Structure 1
Amino acid sequence: MPLTFPTRGAMAAVLLSLGLGLGGCDALDPTNLFAEKYKPEAVPDTPADKLYSEGLAKMEDKDYENAAKQFEQLDKQYTYSDWSRKGLLMTAYANYEGAKYDDAINASKRYLQRHPASKDAAYAQYLMAMSQYKQIPDVTRDQERSERALVALQELVQKYPTSEYAADAKAKIQITRDQLAGKEMAVGRFYLEKRAFPAAINRFRDVVSKYQTTRHAEEALERLVEAYMALGLTAEAQTAAAVLGHNFPDSPWYQDAYKLLQTGGLEPREEKTSWISKVYRGVIGRTAAAE
């Protein structure tokens, strides 16, 4: 049986019964639902050089937030062009100057993903590393930011060793490593005071193994003497003191370690098979190779 549709007269009767007239049919047309409310507007692209100049002007005024927004428009409106590349790098820089470090990190990462071989890639890596570095907390707090900063700085030195940013990165690597060592020392001292000697040794061992070129290495070796003596592990205590005396003979920490051994009738004596001795032989080898 063929389908039949209501005639216009029948439809009119139905609409009238619902209190509607035929004039309401247009309102039900899906193409007209938002005709009045949403009118498409053509937004012309701002010339790239104007966007860039406006962003620079805002940078001059130290309006870094709005400068970043201007540079972001370059990336959006002129995607895959050289203007986009410049805009993305300047977005990272504006956010860095405005202390919006996470935004600077994200913009720098996008730049490096899109333009890894660019002449400005080293600078993008530097901005990312410095944005991590600026967020390093004090030693009483979690050091995840410090670890991220260390990785980013090391990548800069490894990937761009001849760049103008490498020397500064190397200096900041040492500062960051010192910060990480300081955190380990703080936790180690806490365990030592609580007489949790194995836990303390683990922390001081990390300092000696990972951060032996930092200013905390001397104290870490002396604290190992304390902890090993408390556990009766005299051979390890003697080795820690011997390594301390060999590498830092004028250190007050060595004097303390020496006196502590004497209370037990012992002298510093290096056991060549000890992990401490192996660590410092490795340090001497790496230092010689670097020179």
Structure 2
Amino acid sequence: MHVKHLLPIVILALAACSSDKSKDENSVDESLGETALYQQSQEDLDNSSYANAIAKLKALEARYPFGRYAEQAQLELTYAYYKNTEPDAARAAADRFIRLHPEHPNVDYAYYIKGLASFDQDQGMLARFFPLDMTKRDPGAARDSFTDFSQLTSRYPNSRYSPDAKARMIYLRNLLAANEIHVAHYYLRRKAYVAAVNRGRYVVENYQGTPSVGDGLAIMTEAYLRLGLQDLSDTSLATLKLNYPQHPTLENGNFVPSVKETTERSWLSRTALRLIEEEAPPPPRSSANRDLTQQFEQARQDIPRNLLPPEQPEDKNGADSEDGTSERSWWSRLTFGLFD
């Protein structure tokens, strides 16, 4: 057997050994009492052994649900999940603690951990080592984090965690506003001008004080201009000039659209849509149409002949015959009608 065939087997064996080792490490001695379990969980937290700490805290809560360390174990479990990079479990544990102990003196900490879990949820491995633009990612976790921090600051304004929560809320608010601007620019490029106006207005009305307000006004100006609403475009432009005179869309006081309006389509677009743009066949005529045609022909026959227009002489070269067919030339017969 070649070495390259042995390599996958060795990798699987090492993975199995590591999983068995982690199982052994995370297993909790059933002979440990309440105090010993809590003390060992604290040692694991101090040593950053968060998986072991989670196992011991869960065992402590399960074995002694009404013990002296039960509430503290539930609270510290939220922190252990957060440090172990399990944001969903951290949020679930925080929600459970808030629901079970709404009057606990440290319930503000549960709100804080809940917000932190959502705040760091988008900070994955790539975002930590590469300069990714967070404003272009899904803002769902950012909205959740902003909501959690706002609950903390509104319910517990004097909490020790409120200053940090407020600082993070400023960052999240700027991020959410910038995300709305990215969506508005997408609508502009797709010529969905009404949707772009709505996004720009939403930023101006709901994210005052953020750097994206000027971008929202610029988008409203451009979208109104494309829609032909000159008065609304002038109003948005005047507000933009007054509050953001250095905005990138303003050059010497004149507005420069960020998206060029193109009417010429590419050859690929013309080719792909050729079948769609061809004239559609006429719909089948209904019985009502046929009756109307018969009535028209009958009325035409009843008109006196002296009132009818003089008949035009027939063209001998291309005149229609009595059977409705036209006489074909020798060139048409020779080329099979390709150049008719």
Which residue number corresponds to residue 57 of structure 1? 43
CA distance in 2: counterparts of 1:245 and 1:260, whole angstroms: 9
Kindly tell me: are residues 259 and 161 of structure 1, through their superposed partners in 2, closer, same or farther at Cα, counting changes over 3 Å?
A: same
Cα distance, 1:220 vs. partner? 1.2
CA contact (8 A) 1:89 1:111 kept: yes
* Counterpart secondary structure, 1:74: helix
Does residue 252 (structure 1) correspond to residue 238 (structure 2)? The answer is no
Kindly tell me: are residues 174 and 103 of structure 1, through their superposed partners in 2, closer, same or farther at Cα, counting changes over 3 Å?
A: same
CA distance in 2: counterparts of 1:256 and 1:79, whole angstroms: 68
Cα distance, 1:226 vs. partner? 1.2
Cα distance, 1:110 vs. partner? 1.1
Which residue number corresponds to residue 73 of structure 2? 87
Which residue number corresponds to residue 36 of structure 1? none
* Counterpart secondary structure, 2:135: coil
CA contact (8 A) 1:78 1:84 kept: yes
Cα distance, 1:242 vs. partner? 2.6
Taking structure 2 as the reference length, what is the TM-score of the superposition? 0.60
CA distance in 2: counterparts of 1:221 and 1:256, whole angstroms: 15
CA contact (8 A) 1:184 1:207 kept: yes
Counterpart amino acid of residue 150 in structure 2:
Q
CA contact (8 A) 2:98 2:107 kept: yes
CA contact (8 A) 1:222 1:241 kept: yes
Which residue number corresponds to residue 58 of structure 2? 72
Counterpart amino acid of residue 192 in structure 2:
A
Q: Could you give the per-residue CA deviations for residues 164-208 of structure 1, whole angstroms, max 9, x where no partner exists?
A: 111111111121122222221111111112222112112212211
| Aligned with 2:119 (options 118, 121, 133) | 133
CA contact (8 A) 2:237 2:255 kept: no
Q: Could you give the per-residue CA deviations for residues 230-262 of structure 1, whole angstroms, max 9, x where no partner exists?
A: 22212222222232233334x32473594029x
* Counterpart secondary structure, 1:252: coil
| Aligned with 2:169 (options 150, 166, 173) | 173
| Percent sequence identity over aligned pairs | 28
Kindly tell me: are residues 198 and 258 of structure 1, through their superposed partners in 2, closer, same or farther at Cα, counting changes over 3 Å?
A: farther
Count of residue correspondences? 218
| Aligned with 1:152 (options 148, 157, 168) | 148
Which residue number corresponds to residue 219 of structure 1? 215
Structure 1: give runs of 5+ residues left out of the alignment: 1-42, 262-291
* Counterpart secondary structure, 1:192: helix
RMSD, aligned CA = 2.1
Tell which has more relative contact order, 1 or 2 (C-alpha 8 A, sep 6+): 1
Counterpart amino acid of residue 130 in structure 1:
L
Counterpart amino acid of residue 168 in structure 2:
K
Deviates more, 1:111-120 or 1:228-237: 228-237
Q: Could you give the per-residue CA deviations for residues 17-61 of structure 1, whole angstroms, max 9, x where no partner exists?
A: xxxxxxxxxxxxxxxxxxxxxxxxxx9663222111111111122
Which residue number corresponds to residue 207 of structure 1? 203
Structure 2: give runs of 5+ residues left out of the alignment: 1-28, 124-133, 257-340
* Counterpart secondary structure, 1:135: coil
Counterpart amino acid of residue 61 in structure 2:
D
Q: Could you give the per-residue CA deviations for residues 57-102 of structure 1, whole angstroms, max 9, x where no partner exists?
A: 1112211111111111222122134411000011111111111111
| 4+ runs deviating over 6 angstroms | none
CA distance in 1: counterparts of 2:170 and 2:96, whole angstroms: 27
Which residue number corresponds to residue 122 of structure 1? 108
CA contact (8 A) 2:188 2:223 kept: yes
